[in-house]
Amino acid sequence: MQNGKLNVMQIILNLDRAGAQEVVRTLVDYLAAGGCVPVVCTFQDGPLRRDIEQLGVKVEVLPPRRYSIVAFPLFIIDMIRIWRQLARLVKKYNIDIVQTHLLEALDFLVLTLPYGTNLHVVLWTFHNADFLPTMKHWLLKPKRFVYRLLYRLTVSKVDGFIAVSDEVRASMIRQIGPIQNKVMTISNGVDVRRYNGSKDKEAICRELHIEINARLVATVGRLTIQKGYPYLMDAASTVVPLYPNTHFLFIGDGELREELQHQVQQIGLTENIHFLGQRQDVPALLMAADVFVLPSLWEGLSMALLEAMAAGRPIVATAVSGTTQVMVAHKTGLIVPPKDAPALADAIIQLLSNPAQAQTMGQAAKQHVEMHHSAQKQAEEHLVLYRRLLAQSIAS
């Protein structure tokens, strides 16, 4: 700590445009205004780096892991290399607190940094209720078992855990053990300043070469299994015949893109479903949409959901972790069961056919997120936690 300011390093696996990465971008912006000196460290460069650096925040990009634990000797050499690079950064910036995001195995490596540096506090942030490995692999079950065991063995070394929703906190306690005293729920926050501009729906429609009076249904997120997009595709095949001028905007990219595009061709909706990829103008796209849909199979607390609410959009979302904590059913939007394409379609149709109801829900959503999930509130709660844990560390 220098001049009363905390030096805090946020470590995240990559800087793609995704939910947890947006949490980091928003957090460091407001932490800097609150008396911190934030630094961001990542193992894979990405488009969000420019946004963070434009805030005046330092970004350090380290070479990623090269070997898995299966290649054990090389894995150990790799871990030593990464530890040295992280320790160098901790010393370079005189870091007081490290907060991690989505690091998986590297979380355990970060725990050892205080033994070779002046680092005081290590915090782990959990962004999903299902935080154990989820990849499709024959080693999945043993890998999940090993991770669960490691979490339980190392819990005493972690200074604190941050859960982005109450459901994530409950899942952590269920999977790791009785860590209630170490887990604090700090809900994700959205920078509402980015959603106070005027919308230009006509410009978006012209860009997509669709009619100016088109109805736009937007969704934002990585194209992965977690997001439940095949069910939204099925819902679209019900909605479009009833409202032919409805267009679905998929904002984001991921490993399922080709599979989803193939599904679009099979259901004959290539004119009505648009894959926009990674975009710099997500706020403008959200404000131009008539409805926002989040069809996720699981979540922690979706940043895309909070952003859509900040944009004043009526929401259709599945009843999954985090979402049910933020949404007020039938007030800020409609909540449907996950994996239920007919329910998704019915909810979208309800909002498209009742524009007055949709507008009222959108206004309520905006008011709700500004009151309960602002980036300012999120940063203030982090600062309180940082100072408490740092004082405890120094005292001990």
Q: Angle CA(332)–CA(323)–CA(133) in degrees, nearest 5?
A: 160
Domains of the chain: 6-189+374-395 (3.40.50.2000), 192-372 (3.40.50.2000)
Q: pLDDT value at position 138?
A: 64
Q: What is the pLDDT of residue 51?
A: 94
CA–CA dist 8, 13 (Å, integer): 17
Tokens standing for residue 91: 């010393």
What tokens appear for 108 in the block?
């355990």
Helix, strand, coil percentages (3-state) for the chain, rounded to 5, are 50, 20, 30
- Alpha-carbon span 183 to 170, nearest angstrom: 10
Spatial contact of 287 and 365, defined as CB atoms under 8 Å apart: no
Pick the closest to residue 219 from 229, 234, 211 (CA basis).
Answer: 229
For the chain of 396 residues, list the mean pLDDT of each consecutive stretch of 10.
Answer: 83 94 95 93 96 96 87 90 97 97 92 94 92 70 85 92 94 91 94 84 94 96 95 97 97 95 95 95 94 96 96 97 92 97 98 97 96 94 96 90
Contact (Cβ atoms closer than 8 angstroms) between residue 69 and residue 38:
no
* pLDDT score for 130: 81
Q: Check residue 34 and give its pLDDT.
A: 87
